[in-house]
Amino acid sequence: MTTLTVKHPKAKRGGFIRWFLQVGWKHLVALFVIVFSTFPLVYILSTSLTKMGNIENFTLFRQFYLGNYKDLLTSTDYPFVIWMKNTLILAGATAVISVFISALAAFAFSRLRFKGRRPGLLALILIQMFPSILGLTAVFGILSKLTDYVPAIGLGTKAGLILVYLGGSLGGGTYLMYGFFNTIPKELDEAAKIDGATHTQIYFKIILRLVAPVLAVMALLSFIGTFGDYVLASIVFNTNKQYTVAVGLQSLLADPWTKNWAMFAAGAVMSSLPIVIIFVSLQKYITNGLTGGAVKG
């Protein structure tokens, strides 16, 4: 709104109107969009700083109380630090391994020609369409079988859940990366080949390095995906020391759900801050990661 009331010298008035019609109004639009996209986040930040702790926070930033953060970091009923650690291990391992395995498969689909390549690609897309949430009974069945045979990767173990996450994230990841690998000119491979490179050298030293930023984005997106899962994590883990952030924060809200609202808010702020910062700083590469190179960012 301030742009409107700024007084400009008469001589420049025409210039201002022209500027406003061409560019200036866009700042106004930006202001509206900023309000729309940030007010829930501002609200939750403000709530995390209230002393009352329940949901009735009608005025933003009327207090600056850090107790909720302290409570959450020291609580034994809600061991937030342990949740963060669990989530970091689960989501981190899933992100790294799934990106690595998807990239391997994407290389095959993009660079090698073999029987069943096209049907394979199609199957990859289609298999993702299965409503995975309804496969829960099957997943549970697999894990409880594993618990009998190989307890180290059965129910209640991180390794078991990581395997399940990997199975779920490979198809989409491979397809996106396939699109991106296709945008890298094959001439590079040919040049390397003339220099005597093997296929592994071409893969690791040329292609993977070129797509490194996209790999980072894919890993981040996978991390966020795993971070947000609570259905699987809540059937695999039962004690609050095994919880992930998603399951743990939900348990905070479980009993009369507005009671621990400010503590939840503090947890939401603490757990999302690193993700938001990384996400925004990788912004330049994110469009590529999202669209598999079909659309350039």
**Vertex 49: Cα angle to 244 and 2 (nearest 5):** 115
Q: How is residue 262 written in tokens?
A: 């400010």
**Dihedrals phi, psi of 95, to nearest 5 degrees:** -60, -50
Measured from the CB atom, is 26 or 70 closer to other proteins?
A: 26
Q: Min. distance of Cβ 212 from other proteins in angstroms?
A: 18
What are the CA-CA distances from residue 91 to residues 67, 126, 245, 249 (Å)? 28, 25, 11, 16
- Residue 163 in contact with residue 153, Cβ under 8 Å? yes
Judged by beta carbon, residue 69 or residue 107, the one nearer other proteins is 107
Tell me how far apart the alpha carbons of residues 78 and 251 are, in angstroms, rounded to a whole number: 8
What is the dihedral sign for C-alpha 252, 244, 127, 122?
positive
Work out how close the CB of 233 gets to other proteins at its nearest, in angstroms, rounded to a whole number: 11
Q: How far is the CB of 79 from other proteins (least distance, A)?
A: 19
Pick from 181, 209, 21: which is nearest to 108 by CA?
A: 181
**Alpha-carbon span 220 to 190, nearest angstrom:** 31
For residue 240, CA distances in Å to 81, 85, 91, 110, 252 come to 11, 13, 18, 44, 11
Nearer to other proteins, 14 or 141 (CB): 141
**Residue 79 or 168: which CB sits closer to other proteins?**
168
CB of 6 to other proteins, least distance (A): 14
Q: How far is the CB of 190 from other proteins (least distance, A)?
A: 6
**Residue pair 243/252 in contact by the 8 Å Cβ criterion:** no
Q: State the minimum distance, in angstroms, from the CB of residue 69 to other proteins.
A: 16
Residue 72 or 268: which CB sits closer to other proteins? Answer: 268
Nearer of residues 10 and 281 to other proteins, judged by Cβ: 281
Closer residue to other proteins (CB): 10 or 137: 137
Compare residues 217 and 242 and give the one whose CB is closer to other proteins: 217
The least distance separating other proteins from the CB of residue 70, rounded to whole angstroms, comes to 20
Q: Which amino acid is at 199?
A: H
Query: Measured in whole angstroms, how far is the alpha carbon of residue 235 from the centre of its chain?
Result: 21
Q: Which candidate, 182, 214, 220, 216, places its Cα nearest to that of 289?
A: 214
